[in-house]
Structure 1
């Protein structure tokens, strides 16, 4: 079990409070709360308090240089079924323009294996095609004419259709059967070049239709279910070979899409910003960032466990958890920090997310100069009012000259593995303790809660 991954959000993946005018940070307690026994307190309550992670003040931040993003990308994600409707597109374009946004991410291939791009023979052969977007070039053209960047999102290796129809390309069990996660979903083997070719054929058709950028999701190895039984076509599968394989895929993607002038980007677990190693899934944010134009960690407060990254309740404290996650991402990415475009939460999961909570995430990222991001809502319903603050757009707010807190407020960092200011040595996030087991996340994007159906 992940040894008490203290307070992080998740991903991305994804949902104490941030004051509307300015963040308020609690001062560190002089004595740990669990060191005091109150009269009449039950043994169960005392035990729960001992298990609770210590609060770590936001002031325990290292000096982090501000990120430079001279050409920020700010947008929302929409489902393929919604994007296929001219009426929806017209309304969405109006909303995006009114909100000051300049990008839209459109689902082109989903986690169930359905493909919304025409002209890929294998997709037709295996029954993966769905007529969600009848005229893809027209769809892209509508957004681009309005000055909105069109980004196509393609799910890679979580592909139940391809794995069932081409079982020789699937992740296997030790006895040679197709491996399935706890929900009965099969994955294709990320080492198999045939799976690369299939997805890059889809990506190339999308780029030919005019997309400015192709965003790869589920660009990783399985995490949920009994992953100890996973067998791949490479006998020497290891964290090193897994990351190298993903990097090699991205290099090949670049070669395939360069002729179309399309950029490439990837979605990652939110915890890759703070975790050391590949988390057992082949995702190392620093290494993979070398091969792409943008990285999208899915930083959803609802996807972080209580106590992760030293935040008592991430879902209720979006400013604090995002501030820490973005800080870690900036530190981890180093010279590639300008490529950072987090996915932020604009949906409710366990806690109602209103304009204040959505805005808190944007303001937290802006503390580090990060003004590129995408909002995620599985039903395509966005809190546009969250994008304005003090009668101006959030990104027009003054940015501090430094993201670091005053030295006088610094307190010691948390215990190892919890993190106040240091990157966290997370163990492998596979099997029983994978993020995908944390509750079922918001629909259809990679991260802890990805198997909910999308709504048009």
Structure 2
């Protein structure tokens, strides 16, 4: 016999009231500073609700939490708190901004020597941003994380930063744009602790790359959750941008995956993860970026690693190609020795990216080489080579640039100065 459900009058009235409560809808226009031109495609967020501005910069969005957040590629992000009952049209102006960054590893951000050297360059040159490892190449998280899994798998065995909120506050006081780098599928700690999520070789054994590190299977969505949790924690800590690295398949034959190893399945896995990240991070109004191989800008397929340029640009705010001349080991058309032509490698690759996607340069921010060549003639990349790459990125209209040195050693020579000139 089915039980009859009785509604208490008061409780039912409250339920109806909650359902029928009007939701404040805000409309407005997003403009660029200083020309007041409308910004099409700007992302407007309230809570988990998101929309984009139209060609006239106009938007309309229900406000779920009394706050409105706005961001657009090539501009600073903004957060607005709306007064109770405020329903007039909003006029939101975003200031242009292009990050110019150096990278600090798990150990670099915790080393006073390496960190202070980077901050000195931020004071002396046009540098205005830092890329900081939030989850590094070996799976380490450098600060005390609230995620239980981080401790369980050993990601907390090295804590180079004892108080990350205090560190972020210090860097914010210096007006530094903060990019949190998260290495995704190359995660030896998680793959070893949970082999059911990992990649396996033809013999069924846990597979390891040339560094001896195990990887997660990108086709197993249950393996995505940990990196998404780390990303959300970083967003709550106050990073401006979350940048996913190793968001790809390894370039190795004969591996076993959860699904058939086809281009369609690979691309679906990589873009699926990035779309999941964008959805998870929506309430925080952080920019979402992905690091990709330089050849991805040139190859018409997914380069056998799941990175297909026209799919990637739809899933993130910024695509960050690694345009290290040393990485172009097969050269480019008309260029057989890329390290002799650092300007051409960067400029031509970014032009190819714009041509293939139809997007402006502001959607791309390249990684540039600031380390000794390993593939051709072992030449050092000094001031001239660094400067050439930076000039190429600027000429191509990219959204700034980032310098990579695995040892976190950066020199002042070759770096541009701001409009006020370099201080002595």
TM-score scaled to structure 2, two decimals? 0.72
Residue 407 of structure 1 aligns with which residue?
Answer: none
Of the candidates 374, 385, 410, which is equivalent to residue 413 of structure 2? Answer: 385
- 1:372 to 1:393, Cα distance in 2 relative to 1, 3 A: farther
Q: Which has the higher contact order (CA 8 A, sep 6+)?
A: 1
Residue 123 of structure 2 aligns with which residue?
Answer: 97
Q: In 2, distance between residues paired with 1:390 and 1:138?
A: 27
Q: In 1, distance between residues paired with 2:383 and 2:366?
A: 18
Instruction: Determine whether 1:80 maps to 2:106.
Output: yes
Instruction: Determine whether 1:124 maps to 2:137.
Output: no
Instruction: Determine whether 1:260 maps to 2:288.
Output: no
Q: In 1, distance between residues paired with 2:418 and 2:275?
A: 44
- The farther-off stretch of 333-342 and 265-274 is 333-342
Instruction: Determine whether 1:233 maps to 2:258.
Output: yes
Residue 322 of structure 1 aligns with which residue?
Answer: 346
Q: In 1, distance between residues paired with 2:304 and 2:184?
A: 17
Unaligned runs of 5+ in 1: 1-66, 395-456
Contact 1:83 1:139 in 2 (8 A): no
Q: In 2, distance between residues paired with 1:391 and 1:141?
A: 26
Q: In 2, distance between residues paired with 1:385 and 1:372?
A: 18
Per-residue CA deviations over 1:404-447 (Å, capped at 9, x if unaligned) read: xxxxxxxxxxxxxxxxxxxxxxxxxxxxxxxxxxxxxxxxxxxx
Q: In 1, distance between residues paired with 2:177 and 2:208?
A: 36
Deviation (angstroms), 1:230: 0.7
Q: In 2, distance between residues paired with 1:272 and 1:220?
A: 11
- 1:122 to 1:299, Cα distance in 2 relative to 1, 3 A: same
Deviation (angstroms), 1:388: 3.3
Q: In 2, distance between residues paired with 1:95 and 1:68?
A: 23
- The farther-off stretch of 94-103 and 262-271 is 94-103
Q: In 2, distance between residues paired with 1:188 and 1:378?
A: 23
Per-residue CA deviations over 1:108-128 (Å, capped at 9, x if unaligned) read: 212222222411111111112
RMSD: 2.3
Deviation (angstroms), 1:88: 4.8
Instruction: Determine whether 1:370 maps to 2:377.
Output: no
Instruction: Determine whether 1:218 maps to 2:246.
Output: yes
| DSSP-derived class of the 2:261 partner | coil
- 1:68 to 1:104, Cα distance in 2 relative to 1, 3 A: closer
Contact 2:126 2:417 in 1 (8 A): no
Of the candidates 165, 174, 198, which is equivalent to residue 137 of structure 1? Answer: 165
Unaligned runs of 5+ in 2: 1-72, 76-95
Contact 1:319 1:361 in 2 (8 A): yes
Residue 227 of structure 2 aligns with which residue?
Answer: 199
- The farther-off stretch of 241-250 and 175-184 is 175-184
Instruction: Determine whether 1:284 maps to 2:325.
Output: no
Q: In 1, distance between residues paired with 2:399 and 2:233?
A: 30
Q: In 1, distance between residues paired with 2:113 and 2:343?
A: 35
Aligned pairs, number:
324
Higher strand share: 2
- 1:336-347 matches, within 5 Å, as 337-347=361-371
Residue 133 of structure 2 aligns with which residue?
Answer: 107
- The farther-off stretch of 369-378 and 300-309 is 300-309
Of the candidates 154, 163, 170, which is equivalent to residue 182 of structure 2? Answer: 154
Residue 354 of structure 1 aligns with which residue?
Answer: 382
Q: In 1, distance between residues paired with 2:102 and 2:137?
A: 19
| DSSP-derived class of the 2:229 partner | helix
- 1:26-65 matches, within 5 Å, as none
Per-residue CA deviations over 1:355-391 (Å, capped at 9, x if unaligned) read: 1111111112222222511111122221322123899
- 1:19-30 matches, within 5 Å, as none
| DSSP-derived class of the 1:216 partner | strand
Deviation (angstroms), 1:87: 6.1
Deviation (angstroms), 1:153: 0.3
Q: In 2, distance between residues paired with 1:140 and 1:334?
A: 36
| DSSP-derived class of the 2:103 partner | strand
Q: In 1, distance between residues paired with 2:418 and 2:209?
A: 47
Instruction: Determine whether 1:295 maps to 2:319.
Output: yes
TM-score scaled to structure 1, two decimals? 0.67
Higher-Rg structure is 2
| DSSP-derived class of the 1:384 partner | coil
Q: In 2, distance between residues paired with 1:290 and 1:384?
A: 36
| DSSP-derived class of the 1:111 partner | coil
Q: In 1, distance between residues paired with 2:336 and 2:253?
A: 31
Residue 35 of structure 1 aligns with which residue?
Answer: none
Q: In 2, distance between residues paired with 1:389 and 1:264?
A: 27
| DSSP-derived class of the 1:335 partner | coil
Per-residue CA deviations over 1:145-187 (Å, capped at 9, x if unaligned) read: 1111111101000111111110111112344321223443211
